[in-house]
Structure 1
């Protein structure tokens, strides 16, 4: 569906009003929003690329990490699976990765608690200052004409220089620290395996600094009055990052494979690893 532009639409004023409220999209919804603000309308959602479940003959890679650090034969098999997934897909799911399921579930619940608390509790963190280590805001761009995305995001820069503990929101502070420690350990293992898949020393990617940084981003997309007109995120790649994705069981994530958008079906306890452009080499 393509929306008809409104001639009297003042994009900047509308964006500033949303931004200055400091309550995010959740605040708009809680206030009784019945019609989608024009800045969130995406005019070109009719993509010429097919979308849907994976065909029967296409298997989205799921890699079992059981034995990765205790069984050399199994580790070699995992490295082969990672190599194939990197070459053919650019992402894969991992199970038996060592992070307790209860930690993953509580992380999702903690992010939900943050976004669903009273607006006054979130206002002090609302900022677009990228020098801050903990911020909350809505995905809008004041300088361009691109449509805003229907999501609020809590962003925490957790490594290499984490924020003071008291800077983290109380609603998810403890689980954020626990989850971060677990993901940093998993990240080290992933970079070792990818290094070996490339035929390099296991410590190669770690030695050049790939394991040093960690951003934790907790996205939240509340119920939308006109969901057919907007998107929570757009078509993108994650340049230069290895991304560990934790999604709830509702799903909604798609990946582009062989010119087709394929649904990524959530697997309880699994994590999605997105290589982005990390391993892309120019000829």
Structure 2
């Protein structure tokens, strides 16, 4: 049997358990299976952080916009405080998601699927069969808007919590998109009307890192930078679609989560992706997204990317998996390639 066939056999065997990584741990695994082995990463880790923390309650909106512009244009990550999402809601959501994952495998098996048409999906690694190596994680995905699942479709562990939190995250995303629109000197609602997206995440344990080139290091090398947890804060990161429509003025950077070494508690995070929904009746899967005209022809900057549909982007993203290559490179115009 070839190495490829052996790996495919192992991947299918793991997926067929419908128990995920937690199932391996519950079964008493004492070593990480080879399908999860990643080659050593030679990229250095920065000794100091560079992730801004922005107070959204600051009375001077121009100052907030300036800080968002600087963060989104250089780092691609920032944390927000006084964001309007109650701490209670964040804590209850994390507790509910942890409650779901800590159930026995049999209780989660009904939700295990790789069908992208399902509004509620539990699985391990969306790109299990595409990426060079699997990640040590399980995911519960819920399409919360604009056509949310019926209450009975949600696992009991998160019912009555997750959709309420999703609405709070959506409101915050609208506010962030307004700030980003202003940062690009566009009308406040411009990015929101386009259906652009960024991610908002909740996590209390740390381990999140972003891949950045730090000016103070002076050697031109990119480094992994910790995104340290800040009490009550939410992490915002610029998505690929925002980098595309902003013609590169906003940065989408590679990020990862390092392994949790604690044997006492698993790392649990909640990420809200506020994006174009291809699974609802009102979706615009044929809508083209390209660099905004005011940021190209009106400013004299040539467009860096060709116009694409979200379906086209997702097909490429899902097909290549998390292989370390930026998805946007595939859609960059030839004349602008480095």
Give the TM bin, normalised by the shorter chain.
0.7 to 0.9
- The CA deviation at 1:108 is 1.1
How high is the TM-score relative to the length of structure 1?
A: 0.79
Hey, what's the Cα distance between the residues in 2 that align with 1:151 and 1:86?
A: 28
Specify the alignment match of 1:267 in structure 2.
230
Q: 1:146 to 1:79 in 2, by over 3 A?
A: same
Task: Tell me how far 1:244 sits from its aligned partner.
Answer: 0.7
Judge conservation of contact 2:20–2:138 (CA < 8 Å) in 1: yes
CA contact (8 A) 1:110 1:175 kept: yes
Paired position in structure 2 for 1:237: none
Tell me: CA distance 1:112–1:124, structure 2 relative to 1, closer, same or farther (3 Å). Answer: same
Q: CA deviation at 1:209?
A: 2.4
Q: CA offsets, 1:72-95, max 9 Å, x none?
A: xx1111111101111111110000
1:19 corresponds to which residue? 15
Aligned pairs for 1:138-217 (under 5 A) are 138-139=124-125, 141=127, 143-144=129-130, 146-210=132-196
Superposition deviation, residue 246 in structure 1: 1.2
Listed as ranges, the gaps of 5+ residues in structure 2 are 214-221, 248-303, 305-335
TM-superposed CA distance for 1:25, in Å, is: 1.0
Aligned residues between the structures? 237
* 2:62 alignment partner in structure 1: 76
* 1:34 maps onto 2:5 in alignment: no
Cα distance, 1:40 vs. partner?
Answer: 1.0
Alignment partners' CA distance in 1, 2:147 and 2:131: 34
* Residue 51 of structure 2, aligned match among 52, 60, 79: 60
**Can you list the C-alpha shifts for 1:228-267, whole angstroms capped at 9, x where unaligned?**
xxxxxxxxxxxxx41112112x210111121111111100
Q: Do structure 1's residue 279 and structure 2's residue 234 form an aligned pair? A: no
Say if 1:133 and 1:35 are closer, same or farther in 2 by CA, change over 3 A.
Answer: same
Of residues 195, 204, 212, the one that matches 1:257 is 212
Question: Residues 145 and 199 of structure 1: is their aligned pair in 2 closer, same or farther, counting only changes over 3 Å?
Answer: closer
What's the counterpart of residue 118 of structure 1? Answer: 104
Q: Which residue of 1 aligns with 2:71?
A: 85
Displacement after TM superposition at 1:60 (Å):
1.9
Unaligned segments of structure 1, at least 5 residues: 1-5, 211-240
Q: Residues 119 and 132 from structure 1, CA distance in 2 versus in 1: closer, same or farther, beyond 3 angstroms?
A: same
CA RMSD of superposed structures (Å) = 1.9
> What is the TM-score with the length of structure 2 in the denominator?
0.66
Q: Detail structure 1 runs of 4+ shifted over 3 Å in the superposition.
A: 6-9, 140-145
The higher-RCO structure (CA 8 Å, 6+ apart) is: 1
Structure 2 CA distance, aligned partners of 1:161 and 1:8? 40
Conserved 8 A contact 2:11-2:129 = no
CA distance in 1, matches of 2:31, 2:146: 42
CA deviation after TM superposition for structure 1 residue 143, in Å: 4.1
The Cα shift of 1:9 comes to 7.6
Quick one: distance in 2 between partners of 1:168 and 1:46? Answer: 38
**Aligned: 1:109 with 2:73:** no
